């Protein structure tokens, strides 16, 4: 018996644990197989005020063994943890004597802390919905901002060249009509000559309307003035 007591080893690896009220707490304790005769118990607290949490010979409704029937694994489960379950738990090996049991070896103790309030499923669902709405609103705002910026850029691209072209002299090539056309309501459509390879993808057009003839000194007979307007748009 003395030799078995010297070779006996008890291991309680958990130092501190946090658990939420209502959950199941698992306390781990293992021993060597060559221990002396005597029970293994779980005690809450140490000294005169300790409380027996689990004993192989007792009845504990909320406590069950993790490996029932094992001679080396004395880990336990405590169901439906309550705030009063917070404290320090010890796994203790006792040696049986003629006049009772004496402590052979005890673990280092596992200190248990409780989170008294748990996240209710409805609270989790509400948090998920709020996160989804936040990211959806952010995405929509980003899309609106990008579309607005794109519209401003396109307006600048269309308005810029048209404003510039109204001040630049561009050669004209008449395509239809002559100053001597009988009807003054006819519009003479003229195309602008391409100035460079950069304008290959652009369309230039002008609408020429005859103005009332006004003779001026030195003007040749048969000529008439016209009004010119130019608009440049991107070719599609």
In terms of C-beta density within 10 A (0-12 exposed, 13-18 middle, 19 or more buried), how is residue 110 classed? buried
In terms of C-beta density within 10 A (0-12 exposed, 13-18 middle, 19 or more buried), how is residue 76 classed? buried
Phi-psi region of 156 (alpha: psi -120 to 50; beta: other; left: phi over 0): alpha
pLDDT reported for residue 186: 42
pLDDT reported for residue 166: 46
pLDDT reported for residue 100: 84
- Give CA separation, 180 vs 122, 135, 176, in Å: 86, 68, 12
pLDDT reported for residue 154: 66
The answer to whether the pTM exceeds 0.85 is no
- Give CA separation, 215 vs 48, 129, 133, 210, 222, in Å: 128, 80, 74, 14, 10
DSSP code at position 177? -
Low-confidence ranges of the chain (pLDDT < 50): 1, 162-168, 170, 172-178, 180-199
Longest CA span, the chain: 146
Nearest Cα residue to 1 out of 127, 94, 138? 94
Q: Cα–Cα distance between 10 and 44 in angstroms, integer?
A: 17
In terms of C-beta density within 10 A (0-12 exposed, 13-18 middle, 19 or more buried), how is residue 85 classed? middle
**Sequence-ordered alpha helix ranges (H) in the chain:** 2-7, 121-165
pLDDT reported for residue 34: 73
Cβ-proximal residues to 148 (8 Å cutoff; 6+ apart), any chain? none
Q: Is the CATH number 2.60.40.10 carried by domain 10-115?
A: yes
Local structure of 135: helix, strand or coil: helix
pLDDT reported for residue 148: 85
């Amino acid at each position: 018996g003395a030799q078995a007591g010297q070779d006996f080893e008890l291991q309680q690896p958990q130092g501190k644990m946090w658990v939420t009220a209502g959950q199941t707490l698992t306390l781990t304790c293992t021993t060597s197989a060559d221990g002396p005769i005597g029970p293994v118990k779980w005690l809450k607290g140490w000294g005169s005020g300790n409380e027996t949490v689990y004993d192989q010979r007792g009845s504990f409704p909320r406590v069950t063994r993790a490996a029932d029937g094992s001679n080396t694994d004395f880990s336990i489960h405590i169901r439906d943890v309550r705030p009063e379950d917070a404290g320090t738990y010890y796994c203790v090996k006792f040696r049986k004597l003629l006049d009772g049991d004496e402590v052979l070896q005890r673990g280092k103790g596992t200190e248990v802390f409780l989170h008294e309030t748990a996240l209710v499923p409805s609270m989790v669902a509400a948090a998920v919905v709020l996160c989804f709405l936040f990211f959806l609103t952010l995405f929509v705002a980003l899309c609106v901002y990008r579309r607005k910026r794109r519209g401003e850029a396109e307006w600048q691209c269309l308005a810029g060249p048209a404003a510039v072209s109204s001040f630049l002299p561009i050669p004209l090539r008449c395509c239809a009509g002559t100053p001597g056309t009988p009807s003054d309501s006819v519009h003479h459509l003229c195309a602008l000559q391409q100035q460079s390879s950069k304008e290959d993808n652009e369309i230039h057009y002008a609408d020429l309307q005859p103005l009332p003839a006004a003779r001026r000194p030195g003007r040749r007979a048969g000529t008439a003035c016209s009004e010119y307007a130019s608009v440049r748009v991107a070719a599609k």
